[in-house]
Amino acid sequence: MAKQPVLLAGGNPQIAKGEGDAPVQAYIAAMPGWKSEVGRRLDALVERAVPGVRKAVKWNSPLYGVEGQGWFLSFHCCTSYIKLAFFRGAALDPLPPVASKDANTRYFHIHEGDALDEVGLLGWFRQASALPGWMIQGGMDIGRDTMATDQVADEKSPSERIDERIAELGDWRGEMLARLRALIHEADPDVVEEWKWRGVPVWYHDGMICTGETYKKVVKLTFLKGAALDDPAGLFNASLEGNARRAIDVQEGEAIDAAAFKALVRAAVALNQSRA
């Protein structure tokens, strides 16, 4: 029986570095659970967008490039999502949503149950492949230090980052965010916490439930599919004009109806599961 690859932090497969399709396919086959199928779909989309694409595995991540232009894309397994790294993502339209410590690099995260926007991904892959990518200089890939720095940053769990955000706020907003977070966990003990878009707590269960944003005068809970949820208590008081989202803006001194809020969370989870 063949020895299975070691899974590193976040469930990322440890694959020996190598050029060509074979090490990439070995990485994809070793991706845990649902991530392997998504990896196969991503690989097929890149091949479709960029015929003759150059492939390799380095630093336990598949890399995609164009001969003579360097690498334009990589992906990496994190605990609860797959991270796509566009090394010249700041030049893409639309802009991939997640920032990096490097001004040129942008990320896109794929969670379990997320519907892949194949048209959008194909557009990004084609644009990225036309741009100058990482190049070899003196035996070192430009951008490697940036990748390493961001991977070190990822060693902090999303829950730890949310803890830090609450502590940093140090006022009624931190107390309210902590209270709402606790209610979400009471409503759904299996909820998964994420940290996205330059510092926004996000809660998932078979898809996104809601985000927890903090502004100067409000704490905002935005439910991705809020327009499809029953809200008999009338908690939604913002983003009411959209076709999908609804939000709850909580100001200083306001109370939250705990029972009604937990009912909304449970309804959002049930809706996600019905569409999974």
Domains along the sequence of the chain with CATH: 9-153 (3.90.1150.200), 158-275 (3.90.1150.200)
Q: Distance (Å, rounded) from C-alpha 112 to C-alpha 123?
A: 22
| Cα separation of the two ends of the chain | 35
Q: What pLDDT is stored for residue 198 in this prediction?
A: 63
pLDDT of res. 276 = 64
pLDDT score for 7: 85
What's the chain's average pLDDT? 88
Q: Is the pLDDT of residue 218 over 90?
A: yes
Give the integer Cα–Cα distance in Å for 56 and 64: 7
Question: Mind listing the pLDDT tens digit for each residue in 21-71?
Answer: 999 999 999 999 999 999 999 999 999 999 999 999 988 999 999 988 889
**Measured distance CA(180)–CA(214) in Å, rounded:** 12
- Identify the residue with better confidence: 160 or 266: 266
- Supply the pLDDT for residue 149: 44
Q: How confident is the model at residue 207 (pLDDT cuts 50, 70, 90)?
A: confident
**Half-sphere exposure in the Cβ direction for 215 (13 Å, CA):** 11
pLDDT grade, residue 145 (50/70/90)? very low
pLDDT of the residue at 200: 87
Neighbour-count burial of 174, counting CB atoms closer than 10 A to its CB (0-12 exposed, 13-18 middle, 19+ buried): middle
Percent of the chain surpassing pLDDT 70 = 90
Residues 156-178, mean pLDDT to the nearest whole number: 89
